Structure 1
Amino acid sequence: MRGVARVFSLFNVVSAGLLAASVVALQAVQRPPVAPTPPKLELVERTPLKVKVYFTDAKVQLLKPETRTLMVAKSNARAVAQAALNVWAAGPYDRSLLGAVPAKTAPPKVYLRGQHFFVDMPAAYANLRYGTSGERMLLCTITRTLLEERGEDVTFLLGGENVETLGHLDLREPYTRKDCADQ
Structure 2
Amino acid sequence: MRKLFSLFNVVAAALFVCSVLAVQAVQRTPPTPTPPKPDLEERQALKVKVYFTDPQVQRLKPETRTIQVVQTNPRAVAQAAVNVWAQGPFDKGLLGLVPAGGAAPKVYLRGQHFFVDLPEAYARLRYGTSGERMLLCTLTRTLLDARGQDVTFLLGGQTVETLGHMDLREPYTRGDCADE
TM-score, structure 1 length as denominator?
0.84
Flag structure 1 segments of 5+ consecutive residues without an equivalent: none
1:91 pairs with 2:74? no
Tell me the residue number matched to 2:65.
68
Tell me the residue number matched to 1:112.
109
Tell me the residue number matched to 1:163.
160
1:167 counterpart letter in structure 2: G
- Cα 1:2/1:18, change in 2 over 3 Å: closer
Flag structure 2 segments of 5+ consecutive residues without an equivalent: none
- Cα 1:26/1:147, change in 2 over 3 Å: same
- Cα 1:34/1:163, change in 2 over 3 Å: farther
Q: How does 1:26-45 map to 2 (within 5 A)?
A: 26-45=23-42
| Two-structure CA RMSD over aligned residues (Å) | 2.4
Q: Deviations over 1:46-69 (max 9, x none)?
A: 332211100011111111111112
Q: How does 1:112-151 map to 2 (within 5 A)?
A: 112-151=109-148
TM-score, structure 2 length as denominator?
0.85
Shift of residue 8, structure 1, vs aligned partner? 5.0
SS at match of 1:137: helix
Aligned residue pairs, count: 180
Identity of aligned residues (%): 72
Partners of 1:39 and 1:25 in 2: CA distance: 31
